[in-house]
């Protein structure tokens, strides 16, 4: 699959989203799928959805932070949820008012989407991984840094790609 990475990156410029299937990280095949998914999440020009495991019917979970870079991820989450799924907006920052402010415009734009706002004063990676145990789709933003810093596996989006049991959508700013 690694040889497909340049093709998928080129196609991402014209695509609405790119979907890759992962059968789990581990072993040679998992490493190749993982490297393709990570490369697409860093360099792709559209949202990247990594699908693995059994598909569950559950809410769309969106990781929200206070940066404007999370707007595309929030919008993607609402678009997915508009098909009839509830949405959970999760923010790993102990400030409910900030989440309310961040979500207000989206709630007005998507009045028919049932939204649960979850504020937790913890680091985002374990919170999102826990939510991914029971949810249908996990949506995270990516700052999309192309240099060495963006390649580190410690970032929230890359941790979700490797470890979340549910499908993960990584949405970069335009």
- DSSP states along 94-157: S-HHHHHHHHHHHHHH-TTS-EEEEE-SS-HHHHHHHHTTT-SEEEEE-----SHHHH-TTSHH
Which residues in 89-109 are b (16+ Cβ under 10 Å) and which e? bbbbbeeeeebeebbeebeee
The pLDDT tens digits for 63-104 are: 988 888 789 999 999 999 999 999 999 988 778 888 898 899
User: How far apart, in whole angstroms, are the C-alpha atoms of residue 39 and residue 148?
Assistant: 12
pLDDT tens digits for range 6-63? 999 999 999 999 998 876 544 444 444 467 888 888 889 999 999 876 666 789 999 9
pLDDT at residue 147 in the model: 37
Q: Where are the alpha helices (DSSP H) in 12-86?
A: 27-43, 71-81
Domains identified in the chain and CATH numbers: 51-171 (3.40.50.12370)
Distance CA 10, CA 6 (A): 6
- Of 122 and 138, the structure prediction assigns the larger pLDDT to 138
Q: Are 166 and 136 in contact (CB under 8 A)?
A: yes
């Amino acid at each position: 699959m690694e040889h497909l990475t340049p093709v998928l990156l080129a196609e991402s410029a014209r695509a609405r989203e790119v979907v890759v299937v992962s059968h789990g990280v581990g072993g040679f095949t998992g490493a190749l799928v993982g490297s393709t998914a990570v490369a697409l999440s860093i360099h792709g020009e559209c949202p990247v959805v990594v699908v693995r495991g059994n598909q569950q019917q559950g809410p769309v979970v969106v990781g929200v932070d206070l940066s404007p870079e999370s707007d595309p991820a929030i919008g993607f989450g609402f678009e997915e949820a508009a098909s009839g799924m509830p949405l959970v907006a999760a923010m790993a920052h102990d400030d409910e008012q900030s989440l309310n402010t961040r979500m207000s415009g989206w709630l007005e734009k998507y009045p028919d989407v049932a939204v649960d706002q979850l504020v937790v004063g913890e680091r985002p990676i374990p919170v999102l991984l826990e939510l991914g145990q029971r949810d249908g789709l996990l949506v995270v933003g990516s700052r999309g840094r192309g240099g060495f810093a963006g390649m580190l596996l410690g970032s929230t989006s890359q941790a979700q790609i490797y470890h979340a049991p549910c499908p993960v959508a990584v949405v970069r700013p335009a």
